[in-house]
Amino acid sequence: MRRWCHLAGICLFAWLPVVASGQSLGGPRAETLAPRTVGILTGFRPALTVTHLDGAEFDAQFNWEVDMSVDLDMFDLGFLRGNLFANVETTVGDELRSVDPNQNSYVIDTSVSVRLPRGELVTTFHHVSRHLSDRANGNSVSWNMLGVGYGDRASIGSVTFEGAVRVLRNVKHVGVDYNGQYEGHLRIARSVNDNLAIIASADGVIVQVDQQMFGRETRRGGRLEAGVRFLTGVTQADIFVAWEQRIDAGLGVLSTTRWTQVGIRLAPRS
């Protein structure tokens, strides 16, 4: 339990002094753990999340968010696992029309993880780029990071805990002031029966910045989520509510944005 207290502490620390992670900063990531299966192309985990955003300061830009991701285990040697993760996030508002996709963020992670007696230790190359949609794009906005992380899972009765931490440092960035980030997350699921579970999660991220670029200091973001999970033979559907403080929610937004969320997430049954 001490291990899980440490993980929870990192998440909580990331929220101080402004509680609850940005999707682009600390958000979409590959599964921290995967079953041991020796072979090639041993894991394929697509996911689709549709979220309604409420309470944002930029209502015309941020009404809905759609995330589509693929989490692919390229190879598994038992003690070593190679992964490719890709995510496309589309933000939908009503600035120009009633349904107005206005910006996209692309995340690509390549990672190699080592299975330890407890958990997995991972090294990651993390790339993010942002683009306006149906609008003229100006200067390029992207960043590339290298980092390490650790994740573990434990169960107590019908309750499963899964958590991870990750440290990333920037190796190249264009149009942003990010130097590095520290992130952590904790997932909790309590099984009610074979077809229903109660879920909750906490994410936190701290982003170090180059103060000379935009004249601002360290950024903090985070997210709290709770909901229910419905399980079928091959699929799980999460219906959730959340509160988030997101760092730099989009192009041209150099601030933290707070909103509540209601959404649905579809993924293969884990």
| pLDDT for residue 17 is more than 50 | no
Instruction: List the single range of 44-53, 54-63, 152-161, 232-241 with lowest mean pLDDT.
Output: 54-63
| pLDDT for residue 25 is more than 50 | yes
Token pair recorded at residue 52: 């309604």
Tell me which of 246 and 253 has the higher pLDDT. 246
| pLDDT for residue 265 is more than 60 | yes
State the average pLDDT over residues 10-20: 35
pLDDT at 123: 96
Which domains occur in the chain, in start order?
A: 2-268 (2.40.160.40)
pLDDT at 9: 44
State the average pLDDT over residues 188-197: 96
> Do the beta carbons of residue 64 and residue 259 sit within 8 Å?
no
Tell me which of 173 and 16 has the higher pLDDT. 173
pLDDT at 30: 86
> Do the beta carbons of residue 125 and residue 107 sit within 8 Å?
no
pLDDT at 270: 76
State the average pLDDT over residues 215-243: 95
> Do the beta carbons of residue 122 and residue 111 sit within 8 Å?
yes
Instruction: List the single range of 122-126, 131-135, 174-178, 239-243 with lowest mean pLDDT.
Output: 131-135
Strands 235-247 and 256-268: antiparallel
Tell me which of 53 and 2 has the higher pLDDT. 53
Give the CB-side neighbour count of residue 181, counting CA atoms within 13 A: 29
CB atoms under 10 Å from CB of 97, counted, come to 9
pLDDT at 2: 47
| pLDDT for residue 263 is more than 50 | yes
